[in-house]
A and B are shown apart, each in its own frame.
Chain A
Amino acid sequence: MNAAVGASRKMTSVPPSEPKGEPLAGLQTRLEVRGLNFYYGSKQALFDVSLIVPIHRVTALIGPSGCGKSTLLRTLNRMHETLKISRLAGKILLDGEDIFRQDVTRLRRRVGMVFQRPNPFPKSIFDNVAYGLRVNGYKGSIAEAVEKSLRRSALWDEVKDSLHKSAYAISGGQQQRLCIARALAVDPEVLLLDEPCSALDPISTAKIEELLFSLRDNCTMVIVTHNMQQAARTSDFTAFMLEGHLVEYQPTEQLFTNPSDPRTEAYITGRFG
């Protein structure tokens, strides 16, 4: 524990690290985080994090509770700004553009989010999916777009006869897929998933994982998970975080089979966390 804190001090004293991008050679960058420091009030939650998220791949963030993985995820579409006490230094680029210089509503349309617990609106299934289209002034046929994203999230066959029923009438797993459909409806370039299966049973979890796999051709995904098997199953790249630091970022297979940092090894072999 003390050793880790000592190491972190050493790390903050050096100039902003280079993005750990070597393993990503040959892949186009969608999101780039550069030297990100994040504070809740006076408490620092992220220390000089740099990370490249490649296009049309699934990137997983793993680490013990409180390591800052959810915090990092929430900065990627500026959801941290809902907390007044949060403060941030560093750069995040989406397709090369600084996200903090963009209109936040436009950014969030491009970078969607799925949360830990299914959180459908108290509206019908249809209206849930249509919500993002409506607030963003979608010009095309809303009904077609709703059907399309329900199909993409593999929910269409289960709900096509009850589109106008309450979104709370379906099971928790279906609700989570509805939330994914709702996020997909506005056609985001990036989808952030914050432990999307932690409230679901194994069968629903398997369905969501299958769904993530089918989505990666059109969408870049970043998933936060507690579950290392899930990270191994679903992601192409995995970042391991500890106490606000990005410890290691590798292709998933390499990180789980041949980690380069002893702390990563300790975590994935279950010696702590």
Chain B
Amino acid sequence: MSAWAGSRHRIVRKIISYLMLSLTSLCALAVMGVLLFILGYLVWNGGSSLSLDFFTKLPKPVGETGGGMANAIVGSLKLLLLASCIGIPIGVIGGIYMAEFGGKTATFLVQFTADLLNGVPSIVIGIFAYTVIVLKMKHFSALAGGFALGIMMIPITLRSTEQFLRGVPVALREAAMALGASKWKTIVTVVVPAAYRGILTAILLSLARVAGETAPLLFTAFNNRFWSPGWNQPIASLPVVVYTYALSPYDDWHRQAWACGLVLLGMVLVTNIIARTVLSRGISIPR
């Protein structure tokens, strides 16, 4: 008998190999399946309510069919704009500080607090914005909602900006400095451009994450059945509309809630696709 395994052993190995392969493929399929199922379910239930009116008209009172969600769509966009104004600059510039300037203690402290902030339940951030802004101003406002969402964006953009900047090879920094660039100029002209794809992806991820948040908006932006001019009044947003409409007893409202969900998902999907197309151009560092 030879010292090497016989044919039976080889067959067993092949079977195990195929088993593991099918298991991993199955898990991969499950991930895709969940997304496709949600998307399909949204289209199935909400697709029929989508029309031009949905994007251009205000909601109709109960009992009347038709109407749209233009105010909630614009409201969500306005809230995200406000959130970006807070979350992106603080996150990105803070990330630059941590990756390029921060000492050990400072960096550790900022990392630690950012990670904690990332773990704070969104409703707690809502209460915080409520206390800091709504109670002071004595009314709900788009400003308060945008503030709450902006705070949620900070830790995500901060940590990922830091990670991507740290990924830029030291050799590139040295090359720039050896040419007479100051530290700040090196960061602005070489380090950040080399990492901007990653940073942009992180920003989009954080936007996508807060775009669907309902809890922090319930008692900050509140809701509004009409247009909300300016930034100082209660404002409608897609997630809050989904929340209120889905809880209502009316079939028509349920359909509209599904449609809102579909639009929300569509918005996130479209931004992702645009970003990926933009990012695939230009020169990247080969890995």
Contact = CB atoms under 8 A, between A and B. Distances in A.
Interface of A: 77, 79, 82, 105-106, 108-109, 112-113, 115, 117, 119-124, 131-132, 134-136, 166-168, 179, 182-183, 186
Given A121-B194, A122-B193, A168-B283, A108 B175 contact: no
12 contacts: A82-B174, A109-B180, A112-B179, A113-B178, A115-B175, A121-B175, A122-B285, A131-B190, A132-B179, A135-B189, A136-B179, A136-B180
A81 B109 CA distance: 26
B182 A105 contact: yes
Interface residues of B, number: 22
Interface in B119-146: none
Contacts of A123: 193, 283
B179 A182 contact: yes
A229 B284 CA distance: 36
Given A132-B180, A135-B180, A119 B171 contact: yes
A122 B283 contact: yes
A136 B182 CA distance: 10
A183 B176 CA distance: 10
A148 B181 CA distance: 21
A227 B178 CA distance: 24
B267 interface: no
Contacts of A106: 180
Contact of B180 (A108, A115, A179): A108
Contact of A135 (B173, B179, B193, B284): B179
A71 B285 CA distance: 27
Contacts of A82: 173-174, 177
A143 to B, nearest CB: 18
A79 B178 contact: yes
Interface string B252-287: 000000000000000000000000000000011110
Nearest to B175: A119
Nearest to A168: B286
Interface string B145-183: 000000000000000000000000101111111111110
B287 to A, nearest CB: 11
